[in-house]
Structure 1
Amino acid sequence: MWSVDPRTGKRREQVAVEAGADDVDRAVRAAHATVGALADRTARARLLRTAAGLLDGARTEVVAAADAETALGEARLTGELARTTAQLRYFADIVDEAAFLDVRISRPDPSTTPPTPDLRRMKIPLGVVAVYAASNFPLAFSVPGGDTASALAAGCPVVVKAHPCHPATSELVAGLLRRAAAEAGLPEDVVVLLHGFRAGVDLVRHPLVAAAGFTGSVRGGRALFDAAAARPVPIPFHGELGSLNPVVITEAAAAARPEEIGAGLAASMTMGQGQFCTKPGFVLAPEGPGGDRFVAALADALKGVEPGVMLAPRMREHFLTATAEGTRTDGVDAPVRPAGAEPLTVTPGFLTIAADTLLDGDPHGLLQETFGPVTVVARYAKRDQVSAVLALVPGNLTATLQTADADDPDAPSLLAELTPLAGRILVDAWPTGVAVADAQHHGGPYPATTSPFTSVGGTAIERWLRPISYQSTPQPLLPPELRDANPLGVPQR
């Protein structure tokens, strides 16, 4: 596997070789052998905090490596590393608290129908988790990211399939995670790294892999999801695949604050060169003076954005092809046309179309995610056109409503229509930026994700656990967490 400089398109260094079937088998078996050691929750928490400390200590080296392979810039990557290490510590706290075990005890009660025996329920780890790293977050959604952190917190060893956009960064941080394991008194193979397209397919099919987490494209994620379901023993596949992240601007909002909304949209859709999974890629804006002022403000803001480098030359080419195809649809205008610039950069832009025209058909994928700094603005003349267009929108990570104020007359009905479309609803805010918090939900109806779980926040750990109940089991035979004496002091309900 070669490390490539996205600013020039040239190879930097050969980092690793693609793993073959035997390599995948050895990696999974090595990880599986650590399951028993990871049963020690104290050691798991120590591993997560040690990993955070080592990553923080290697900040200069990690940020430089990631920037060389992604062109995301020192400031962005320094912030992403801070998010990554905070997330590791956050899950260490969750391990210490132990509420994720969800311990429930039902005492015997012969008066119920049927009679209730002594029942004790908790959650236990699934086993080896396959993690597929993301292209656009070389740290926070890759080797040391949320899938890895939450899986280790659950007690599951991890085999990571590195993303080809940043193999050197992946090797560097995987080495730090393995060193953290050793310093925490655990086997290094609680984290194993693999490279190569074929390795990803072999990994999800390996009989000792118990679950998988994926962040990437609809095409790649769906292929792996299907492979996971087609196994002799199917496994959970928690994939984040693609999201349009629609925005609806009410008539009152367009009249009250069009310039503010235009500037906010421009900042959100160009963040990270439009390569965030939460980028607002489709907007419903009203016709009329307020809508015109919004479009003008968006155009002015985008014209001031400097050209930027995307994660890889092939992603740049796909962006340019997709946006060019979009402009071929009858009735589409480009007030600011997305374009390529030299060397290997792109300039942002947006397309506009009448809502009625879009309702007649979408031959060039205006209602599909396009990776990069572009959004589509559909202009509606009547409120019912908003409903008709939203009925065509697939599942999303986010949906945003821009209102005039809390008394905006269209807000209640539009919120009701947006709720089935997304996992996170925003009002008068922008979806880029996903806080790591207990109440966070980063997921949504298909194709946003393949399961109803979140990949960000404390409940992300639930993906890697399964419940088990013990009935009429003598106290000495119960796991310590389920005993009346509760020697480990875990929360019991």
Structure 2
Amino acid sequence: MTESTPTPATKPTVAQPAVVQPDAAQPDAVQGRSPRTGAPVGDPMAGSTEADLDRVVAAARAAAPAWAARSGPERAEVLEAVADALDAARAELVAVADAETALGEPRLAGEVGRTSGQLRMFAGLLRDGAHVGAVLSPADPALGRPDVRRMLHPIGVVAVFAASNFPFAFSVAGGDTASAWAAGCPVVVKAHEAHPATSLAVARVVHAALSAAGAPEDLLGLVAGRAAGGPLVTHPGIAAVGFTGSLAGGRALFDLAAGRPDPIPFFGELGSVNPVVVLPGAAAERAEELAAGYLGSLTLGTGQFCTNPGLLFVPEGTKLLDAIATQARTATGGPMLSERIRDAYEDGTSARAGRELARGAAAEGAWAVAPVVWHVDLAEFVAHAAELAEETFGPAGLVVTYADEDALLAALDRLPGSLTGSVHAVEADHPLAARVGAALRPRVGRLIHNGWPTGVAVCWAMHHGGPWPATTTPGHTSVGGTALERWLVPTAYQDCPDALLPPELRNANPLGVPRRTQP
């Protein structure tokens, strides 16, 4: 298949030539494949060498000072220009991504909109100005306190690892990249092996938009190949890393970031089972609705979401378990994003075959899989929690039945960290819902009432993070307005002349940013 993309104004900053034919001299070339057929899609993308990394990172570092010096409103205009360009190229980008991911044109068109929407959201934050965290503590001779003023500055060049399951929203121009640009940082993206043609297509659109907006094209660099991951994290020109992917891969890169001679922040989103608790009143009143909602969330996108409801607690003695089994038997699973992900899913589901409650069917396709729901009681879950609370990436979930509320709360207290926790309750359940929410809160980044975890709103207040192993840094988010805080570091200015202060800290506050002033 030939890529269908707008003609770029300039060539994207990619490693080596953008496209090569793989041979013995290029063992790390990245070849996209169709999940529907397994056949190659487009031409292979060259794997990046050490020299390539040096060149791309150096270009990003050279672009950093001028980009950081731009005011928030000036950066906002560039982000909006990139958003407009992505929207204009939506049809072409979706066609390329669907060939490589089989996620379907409706889903992918919506994801392009989410990607451009993230850029516009950060533009709004930049115009608001609160992201710089300006704080003033005026001199107080009576207390012996000097004049101290503090604000946040860009950390430097950020490395971003694209995710397999979001070829736009968590990829080349996705949330990590958008938030880093908003913070004033250039970005070097490692393209995901599942969608190299999509990565190149987006990079070309972005580079053309940056050029047309008068911004440095090297705000975006692109590298590729599995062998490039570790060297990108340890490259001395990289100041921070954003990662979305597997627990094993993320942990390995996290350790590399911490083991550098100059350790750097690593913001990883790794794995999550996203517990959902159905309380007795809700189970009695809404069994069919809850069963349909659960299977819809579990199988959405063939279960390839970090917010998939992998762990569901339901009360014993209700018709909900039977309703879930009925729904599961009629569910159909689609193709996984890659052969490797498909194989991991099959291995994981086979390991729990003895606990199977119901199994659906697999659609046609080379890497298609069947949805699976398992069932254990609470005592068995507690006895084997280390095994049963592990994430299975795909349309598979574990239903745990409980009879005793105190035993349920004790089990929730042992769960690993997750991105989300959900509670389904009617009014009569509210006293217990409060206790369940209190048990879940320290273990999740987002509490959901009468809803399902799939679907993460792009808004200022969203928190998409959680305790380990959901993320490496539970105080930060990869979605929402505060995502750019990952790429900012503070500087305090003591007794500096007004003319030497950043505009945000000067007495006249020429940019009009929100500031906190100590009495």
TM-score, with length taken from structure 2 = 0.91
Would you say the 8 A contact 1:285–1:380 is kept in 2?
Answer: yes
- Tell me the equivalent position of 1:142: 171
- Tell me the equivalent position of 2:344: 318
Please give the secondary structure, in 2, of the residue aligned with 1:377: strand
Would you say the 8 A contact 1:252–1:408 is kept in 2?
Answer: no
Q: 1:24 to 1:342 in 2, by over 3 A?
A: closer
Q: Deviations over 1:351-386 (max 9, x none)?
A: 0011112222257x3211111111100111212331
Please give the secondary structure, in 1, of the residue aligned with 2:271: coil
Which of 171, 184, 197 is 1:155 aligned to?
Answer: 184
Alpha-carbon RMSD: 1.5
Please give the secondary structure, in 2, of the residue aligned with 1:353: strand
- Tell me the equivalent position of 2:478: 455
Which of 304, 307, 329 is 1:303 aligned to?
Answer: 329
What letter matches 1:216 in structure 2? Answer: G
Would you say the 8 A contact 1:229–1:235 is kept in 2?
Answer: yes
User: Per-residue deviation at 1:490?
Assistant: 2.1
- Tell me the equivalent position of 1:230: 259
User: Per-residue deviation at 1:406?
Assistant: 6.2
Q: Deviations over 1:438-472 (max 9, x none)?
A: 11100000010001201111100100001111011
- Tell me the equivalent position of 2:298: 269
- Tell me the equivalent position of 2:70: 40
Would you say the 8 A contact 2:37–2:365 is kept in 1?
Answer: no
- Tell me how far apart the structure 1 counterparts of residues 155 and 392 of structure 2 sit (CA, whole Å): 35
User: Per-residue deviation at 1:202?
Assistant: 0.6
User: Per-residue deviation at 1:213?
Assistant: 0.4
What letter matches 2:416 in structure 1? Answer: P
Q: 1:406 to 1:144 in 2, by over 3 A?
A: farther
User: Per-residue deviation at 1:189?
Assistant: 0.6
Please give the secondary structure, in 2, of the residue aligned with 1:136: coil
- Tell me how far apart the structure 1 counterparts of residues 314 and 364 of structure 2 sit (CA, whole Å): 29
Q: Deviations over 1:152-187 (max 9, x none)?
A: 000000000010000000001011111121112122
Q: Deviations over 1:234-262 (max 9, x none)?
A: 11100000000001111222122111111
Would you say the 8 A contact 1:323–1:338 is kept in 2?
Answer: no
- Tell me how far apart the structure 1 counterparts of residues 97 and 362 of structure 2 sit (CA, whole Å): 26
1:361-400 equivalences in 2 (<5 Å): 361-362=384-385, 365-400=387-422
Point out the more displaced range, 117-126 or 340-349: 340-349
Which of 432, 448, 453 is 1:410 aligned to?
Answer: 432
Point out the more displaced range, 14-23 or 385-394: 385-394
What letter matches 2:138 in structure 1? Answer: R
What letter matches 2:139 in structure 1? Answer: P
Q: 1:118 to 1:406 in 2, by over 3 A?
A: farther
1:36-435 equivalences in 2 (<5 Å): 36-38=65-67, 39-41=69-71, 42-112=73-143, 115-288=144-317, 290=318, 293-328=319-354, 332-336=355-359, 343-362=366-385, 365-405=387-427, 407-435=429-457
Please give the secondary structure, in 1, of the residue aligned with 2:470: coil
Which of 475, 481, 488 is 2:504 aligned to?
Answer: 481
Please give the secondary structure, in 2, of the residue aligned with 1:454: coil
Please give the secondary structure, in 1, of the residue aligned with 2:431: coil
What letter matches 2:440 in structure 1? Answer: L
Q: Which runs of 4+ in 1 moved over 4 A?
A: 337-343
User: Per-residue deviation at 1:97?
Assistant: 1.8
User: Per-residue deviation at 1:491?
Assistant: 2.2
Would you say the 8 A contact 2:325–2:357 is kept in 1?
Answer: no
1:428-443 equivalences in 2 (<5 Å): 428-443=450-465
User: Per-residue deviation at 1:338?
Assistant: 7.1
Would you say the 8 A contact 2:332–2:361 is kept in 1?
Answer: no
Would you say the 8 A contact 1:440–1:456 is kept in 2?
Answer: yes
Which of 440, 455, 468 is 1:446 aligned to?
Answer: 468
Point out the more displaced range, 237-246 or 307-316: 307-316
Q: Deviations over 1:411-431 (max 9, x none)?
A: 111111111110000111111
What letter matches 1:64 in structure 2? Answer: A
User: Per-residue deviation at 1:199?
Assistant: 1.1
- Tell me how far apart the structure 1 counterparts of residues 199 and 272 of structure 2 sit (CA, whole Å): 25
Would you say the 8 A contact 1:153–1:461 is kept in 2?
Answer: yes
Q: Deviations over 1:18-67 (max 9, x none)?
A: 10111111111110000122021344222211111111111111000111
- Tell me how far apart the structure 2 counterparts of residues 32 and 487 of structure 1 sit (CA, whole Å): 28
Would you say the 8 A contact 1:320–1:338 is kept in 2?
Answer: no
What letter matches 2:300 in structure 1? Answer: M
- Give the length in aligned residue pairs: 484
Gaps of 5+ in 1: none
- Tell me how far apart the structure 2 counterparts of residues 324 and 96 of structure 1 sit (CA, whole Å): 52
- Tell me how far apart the structure 2 counterparts of residues 387 and 178 of structure 1 sit (CA, whole Å): 52
- Tell me the equivalent position of 2:35: 6
Q: 1:101 to 1:362 in 2, by over 3 A?
A: closer
What letter matches 1:281 in structure 2? Answer: G
Would you say the 8 A contact 1:110–1:116 is kept in 2?
Answer: yes
- Tell me how far apart the structure 1 counterparts of residues 206 and 461 of structure 2 sit (CA, whole Å): 27
- Tell me how far apart the structure 1 counterparts of residues 135 and 383 of structure 2 sit (CA, whole Å): 54
Q: 1:274 to 1:409 in 2, by over 3 A?
A: same
- Tell me the equivalent position of 2:48: 19
TM-score, with length taken from structure 1 = 0.95
- Tell me how far apart the structure 2 counterparts of residues 295 and 392 of structure 1 sit (CA, whole Å): 23
What letter matches 1:144 in structure 2? Answer: A
- Tell me how far apart the structure 1 counterparts of residues 34 and 365 of structure 2 sit (CA, whole Å): 15
Would you say the 8 A contact 1:43–1:184 is kept in 2?
Answer: no
Would you say the 8 A contact 1:205–1:228 is kept in 2?
Answer: yes
Gaps of 5+ in 2: 1-29
What letter matches 2:514 in structure 1? Answer: P
- Tell me how far apart the structure 2 counterparts of residues 141 and 445 of structure 1 sit (CA, whole Å): 20
What letter matches 2:105 in structure 1? Answer: E
- Tell me how far apart the structure 1 counterparts of residues 378 and 457 of structure 2 sit (CA, whole Å): 33
Would you say the 8 A contact 2:331–2:361 is kept in 1?
Answer: no
